[in-house]
Structure 1
Amino acid sequence: MSSKKIILTGGGTAGHVTPNIALMPKLKELGYDIEYIGTKDGIERRLIEAENIKYHIISSGKLRRYFDFKNFSDPFKVIKGIFDAKKILKQEKPNIIFSKGGFVSVPVVLAAKMRKIPVIIHEADMTPGLANKISMPYCSKICVTFKEALNHIEKSKGVLTGLPIREEILNGSKIEGKRICGFKDEKPIILIIGGSLGSKFINDSIRENLDELLKEFNLVHVCGKGNIDNTIKKDGYVQFEYVKEELPHLMKISSLVISRAGANVIFEILALKKPNLLIPLSARASRGDQILNARSFEKDGYSMVLEEEELNSKILLEKIKELNSNKDKYIENMNKSEVKNSVDNIIELIEKCSI
């Protein structure tokens, strides 16, 4: 029987789950018994159960920064979630909690505080999300991805760790990538990732430039659910709605990457040293965290940035050509990155803080 137990939590989006999954191989290697707390219908349940990890369900209401009538009922779901989590923690007796954020994490963190169980929080973006803001007073340490994030949290708690990267993303195969795409020549490959829902702005701009781009590149276009254009049949252009197992292999064969600027994907790009053009989600459609992420990478010389409001087919083509001309400079800058092994950094903290 394992002498150490950790309960992970976080959910609502895949970005609040995949970094937890990235920690699991090392935790298992160190002898931790790993369990997870999430919601009944959240994306975290499917992702965690696929890893054969014991999964506990709690109630949780969504935390919103805007007016919604559910804001009156959801606090009662959060309160119920605290009692649900407290019961689970009393029964399972973990040595530590690791929270990746999202609204499901708040009841778990509050229950852990009541049970005197240490909590480590991870904040992926440059400014804390609402769930982490609520949770931060009750934790022992706060891991951050960006050094700028240290300015927004209590100095004694903040630790720059970077973002845990899934081991499999680093182990792609060029042979498998080429098989998946079926390209007939050896042109350099551009991988376009518009997020799980895709981006009409990015999709349209890429397709308007297809003929020009295909003179020099092959294109792998991850365009989002329902966004494949079946009328386009061109050699050197492959479309996917979504990729999961294929992603490490597609990353491996890519010379350039065009992407949104969520923390998970940009740190995977950094780990793989792929010259990249980031097109962050507009502040009109988010709290602006992707814009801050992208500008931080631009400042450090890891990325070229094009904001959505500036995006059109002409400027996109110009940026791609500029990126390709300067790709060696971006690779050199990424090789100088301060954060080398985020998983080990976080595991070391977990070991220090466990009771």
Structure 2
Amino acid sequence: MKKIVFTGGGSAGHVTPNLALMARLKQLGWEMEYIGSKDGIEKGIVDHEGIRFHHIASGKLRRYFDLKNFKDPFRVIQGVGQAYRLLRRIKPHIVFSKGGFVSVPVILAAWLNRIPVIIHESDFTPGLANKISMPFATKICVTFPETLRHIKGGKAVCTGLPIRERILEGKALNGYTLCDFHRQKPVLFIMGGSLGAQAINNAVRGALDALLERYQIVHICGKGNVDKALEGRRGYKQFEYVQEELPDLMAMADIVVSRAGSTSIFEFLALQKPMLLIPLTRQASRGDQILNAESFQKIGYARVLYEEKLTPETLLSELAAAYENRELTKAQMAASRHSSGTDTIVDLIEKHRLGRI
């Protein structure tokens, strides 16, 4: 029996790409287990897929001063011991990591057990957890071609991001029915991330009358951010969040306004949806979304509107420019060699198991 252990957590972006690989590896006869944190988002996602889940201790790796920085290294050491014993018992052929704090003890434990490790880095520049883990990895997959220059030692390969097949199987007709939309006006899909984005919500609602003259709008606005005064407005459909309906809504969309998390933007790339990206600011993040967005703009997949310049007026003008150039954008997307990395990464996993790399 072929066995693989997955790890990664802390955010949905560190987990959901694993689902694409799990689905494909299951078809190829692999047995899978997952090591994550007890209270992390990964447990709920993996449990939903019916994969056996193990939790270990882990510590957050902070770039700033915090008293917990003195305690968390001991939690990491504890996690290494727990992961070491788990891997000795599971005996996987390979460990695959999507990053996040919980992955560090698992990768160290795999290295101690001489189990090959493949790491995947989603963002333009490696996160701190992956930076720590990379010396212990056998292979490092990256999403952006530009990321290769940040990784030394010849371990890196540009694969793109694994895309969940169900995202590609949405039915536009179901989306139209759910939203009570028609085909005579284009559909604008707005998504501010898993928790929503207040700045985007405010700009959209400030420009709503003008937007509705041109578009029908699906707005994923985040938990607690539905504006009850706008419920029932023709052509404007709000959701706190969506799960099962997401592929159908994305299939229906003609253009997208989104944050610039790598998982989301590569899913839009795979679907060939022109984008206006509004990345998180450097004050609210380590700046990875800005780099992601600028990379997509440089290649011709998106336009970028920085949050510092976001107003109802700039939203309208930048969105109009993105929509006007949509056919050229879709042609650029159709030529992409890295719209989905699922096949490439599965091939790497199979080759490592057979010792061909």
Q: Which TM-score band applies after superposition, normalised by the shorter structure?
A: over 0.9
The residue number in structure 1 matching 2:130 is 132
Opposite residue 303 of structure 2, the aligned amino acid is M
1:102-117 equivalence runs, <5 A: 102-117=100-115
The residue number in structure 2 matching 1:40 is 38
C-alpha separation between the residues in 1 aligned to 2:132 and 2:266? Answer: 25
Q: Alpha-carbon deviation of 1:126?
A: 1.0
The residue number in structure 2 matching 1:307 is 306
Opposite residue 80 of structure 1, the aligned amino acid is Q
Opposite residue 130 of structure 1, the aligned amino acid is L
Opposite residue 124 of structure 1, the aligned amino acid is S
Report if the CA contact (8 A) 2:161-2:339 is conserved: no
Opposite residue 154 of structure 2, the aligned amino acid is S
Q: Specify whether residues 273 and 316 from structure 1 end up closer, same or farther in structure 2 by C-alpha distance, changes over 3 A only.
A: same
Opposite residue 163 of structure 1, the aligned amino acid is L
Deviates more, 1:335-344 or 1:288-297: 335-344
Report if the CA contact (8 A) 2:270-2:340 is conserved: no
Deviations 1:287-328 (A, max 9, x none): 000000000000000001101111111111011111111111
Q: Which consecutive unaligned segments of at least 5 residues does structure 2 have?
A: none
The residue number in structure 1 matching 2:322 is 323
C-alpha separation between the residues in 2 aligned to 1:15 and 1:185? Answer: 32
Report if the CA contact (8 A) 2:97-2:118 is conserved: yes
Q: Alpha-carbon deviation of 1:183?
A: 2.1
Which secondary structure does the structure 2 equivalent of 1:148 belong to? helix
Q: Which of 214, 217, 227 is the matching residue for 2:215?
A: 217
Report if the CA contact (8 A) 1:280-1:307 is conserved: yes
Deviations 1:62-98 (A, max 9, x none): 1111111110111111000000000000101000000
The residue number in structure 2 matching 1:161 is 159
Deviations 1:259-298 (A, max 9, x none): 0000000000000000110000001100000000000000
Percent identity over the alignment is 57
C-alpha separation between the residues in 2 aligned to 1:129 and 1:30? Answer: 31
Report if the CA contact (8 A) 1:294-1:305 is conserved: yes
Opposite residue 230 of structure 1, the aligned amino acid is K
Q: Alpha-carbon deviation of 1:161?
A: 0.2
C-alpha separation between the residues in 1 aligned to 2:155 and 2:200? Answer: 39
The residue number in structure 2 matching 1:67 is 65
Q: Specify whether residues 350 and 170 from structure 1 end up closer, same or farther in structure 2 by C-alpha distance, changes over 3 A only.
A: same
Which secondary structure does the structure 1 equivalent of 2:75 belong to? helix
The residue number in structure 1 matching 2:246 is 247
C-alpha separation between the residues in 2 aligned to 1:83 and 1:304? Answer: 46
The residue number in structure 2 matching 1:349 is 348
Once superposed, which parts of structure 1, at least 4 consecutive aligned residues long, lie more than 6 Å away? none
Opposite residue 212 of structure 1, the aligned amino acid is A
1:228-247 equivalence runs, <5 A: 228-233=226-231, 234-247=233-246
C-alpha separation between the residues in 2 aligned to 1:333 and 1:155? Answer: 32
1:25-104 equivalence runs, <5 A: 25-104=23-102
Q: Alpha-carbon deviation of 1:184?
A: 5.2
Report if the CA contact (8 A) 1:81-1:107 is conserved: yes
Which secondary structure does the structure 1 equivalent of 2:58 belong to? coil
Deviations 1:197-226 (A, max 9, x none): 111111011111111111111000000111
C-alpha separation between the residues in 1 aligned to 2:313 and 2:153? Answer: 45
Q: Alpha-carbon deviation of 1:136?
A: 0.2
The residue number in structure 2 matching 1:144 is 142
Q: Alpha-carbon deviation of 1:186?
A: 2.8
C-alpha separation between the residues in 2 aligned to 1:245 and 1:223? Answer: 16
C-alpha separation between the residues in 2 aligned to 1:87 and 1:185? Answer: 57
1:256-335 equivalence runs, <5 A: 256-335=255-334
Q: Which of 4, 7, 11 is the matching residue for 1:9?
A: 7
Q: Alpha-carbon deviation of 1:148?
A: 0.8
CA RMSD of aligned residues (A): 1.0
Q: Alpha-carbon deviation of 1:154?
A: 1.8
Q: Alpha-carbon deviation of 1:351?
A: 1.0
C-alpha separation between the residues in 2 aligned to 1:64 and 1:180? Answer: 42
Deviations 1:17-73 (A, max 9, x none): 001111011101111100000111100000000000011111111111111111011
Which secondary structure does the structure 1 equivalent of 2:318 belong to? helix
Which secondary structure does the structure 1 equivalent of 2:283 belong to? helix
Opposite residue 6 of structure 1, the aligned amino acid is I
C-alpha separation between the residues in 2 aligned to 1:305 and 1:286? Answer: 17
C-alpha separation between the residues in 2 aligned to 1:244 and 1:115? Answer: 38
C-alpha separation between the residues in 2 aligned to 1:186 and 1:18? Answer: 34
Deviates more, 1:184-193 or 1:134-143: 184-193
Q: Alpha-carbon deviation of 1:185?
A: 6.0
Q: Which consecutive unaligned segments of at least 5 residues does structure 1 have?
A: none
Report if the CA contact (8 A) 2:279-2:290 is conserved: yes
C-alpha separation between the residues in 1 aligned to 2:22 and 2:96? Answer: 11
C-alpha separation between the residues in 2 aligned to 1:155 and 1:215? Answer: 54
Report if the CA contact (8 A) 1:140-1:353 is conserved: no
